[in-house]
Amino acid sequence: MPLYLYNMPTYTKLAIAPETVRAAADIPNLYGLKDSSGDRGYFRAVQQAVSGKPEFALLAGVEEVLAELVGFGAHGGVCGGSNLEPELYVRIFDAAARGDRSAVEVLQKRILQISAGVYRVGEPGSSYLRGLKCAASLLGLCTTVMAEPYVPLSPAEQEQIRQNLTKIGLPS
């Protein structure tokens, strides 16, 4: 089964050292790393560590820096907002890959609107996941049911997400 490393120090309280990523890159069926640290220096250090392994995928997990990391050479990203507006994330990847800074700037503004309008509603620490789930449910993609220990946003917070989606032009 194909596997990816997942660097998410905010929740795990540790980062996978670049040297560890390099050593792990030799493991059969390990295809890459998703980095959700948002730390550009860390990403560049990992990129340097695996530079001899071009088939080892480096993926951005923080969509607010996706374009920048693609500009550095990231192979792609795993972005929550792509559940809400997948074409936007394809367009920003393509623009960043071809070095089209003006297109990236326009698209980045939209990603930041999604981030502010969806991921920052509710209690910090779980607002990203709970906001994304709420937005996806408002778009008819799923229900509001969440895996424990998470609970859906309050009715008032759900209404705020609905209003934010309307402001940014997503049908809710």
Determine phi and psi for 87, rounding to 5 degrees. -60, -35
Determine whether 6 is an active site residue. Answer: yes
| Catalytic residue selected from 4, 6, 31, 128 | 6
CB 167 within 8 A of CB 144: no
C-alpha span between 36 and 26 (Å, rounded) = 22
DSSP of 75-103, one letter per residue?
-EE--GGGGT-HHHHHHHHHHHHTT-HHH
Q: Pick the catalytic residue from 4, 11, 13, 34.
A: 34
Amino acid symbol at 156: A
The answer to whether 34 is a known catalytic residue is yes
Catalytic residues: 6, 34
